Amino acid sequence: MKNLLKFLLVICLMFVFSHLQAQIKFGPQAGVNLSTMTLSYSGMSLDPTTLIGFHAGVISEIPIIAGLSLRPGILFSSKGSKFSIMTEEGSISPGYIEVPVNVAYGIGSDALKFSIFAGPYVAYGLTGSVKSGGQSEDIVFGTGEDDDLNPFDYGVNFGVGVNIKALLISAQYGLGLSNLSPDTTGDTEFKNKVIGISLAYLFGGK
């Protein structure tokens, strides 16, 4: 009897997995980032302006229950900000590997579906530059006193989207919660804020 129950359980799990696998969609995603970075030191804030960047990678859509799905992904995302100090213009533009995990709720049909979504993200800084006074230097990521930015970032995303058959068009706001300054005194604070507009093409599913 125990062996029979185990056999039936395995069959049920295989059925559920195969059914879920048939429903999973995945594909490339790319878009534009409109980012700003809050820059403050000892209570004084610089006035950041929007820096245009990009993001690109892959996402998937995994159904949970009717209307509800999970949208994880892995992207390269350029963020940062332009800023002014007195008459000096400059910019900081870090690039991250980012992993968003959004939960989406959609209404509509396979031909046309509207959705809202939200969820956390984690990111790790890999590259980037700081430009000021006509000079450009690479960003040094780390947690030491001589480093420019802490590489680890995290935050939350929320946005809206529309599926037109396999095409997903979305707009989202990413709010960084991590202080990216390696300054351990707490006098300095850098945080990312990003508006993203994306196109994705999702393969698979039914």
Q: Which backbone phi and psi does 18 adopt, to 5 degrees?
A: -65, -35
Across the chain, mean pLDDT equals 87
pLDDT digits 0-9 by tens, 39-79: 887 666 777 899 999 999 999 999 988 889 999 999 999 99
pLDDT digits 0-9 by tens, 139-196: 999 988 888 999 999 999 999 999 999 999 999 999 999 999 988 777 788 899 999 9
Q: Is 23 exposed, middle or buried (0-12, 13-18, 19+ CB in 10 A)?
A: middle
Residue with tokens 């919660």: 177
Q: Check whether 2 has a pLDDT greater than 80.
A: no
Nearest to 151 by CA among 182, 109, 107: 182
Handedness of CA 47, 49, 55, 60 (dihedral sign): positive
Task: Select from 2.40.160.20, 3.40.50.10860, 3.40.50.2300, 1.10.3470.10 the CATH code of 23-204.
Answer: 2.40.160.20
Residue 44 is encoded by which pair of tokens?
Answer: 């004084």
Q: Which run of H or of E encompasses 19?
A: helix 2-23
pTM: 0.85
- Residue 19 is predicted with a pLDDT of 46
- Residue 46 is predicted with a pLDDT of 74
Residue with tokens 């006509």: 134
Nearest to 69 by CA among 107, 31, 18: 107
Beta carbons within 8 Å of 175's beta carbon, 6+ residues apart: 155, 156, 157, 193
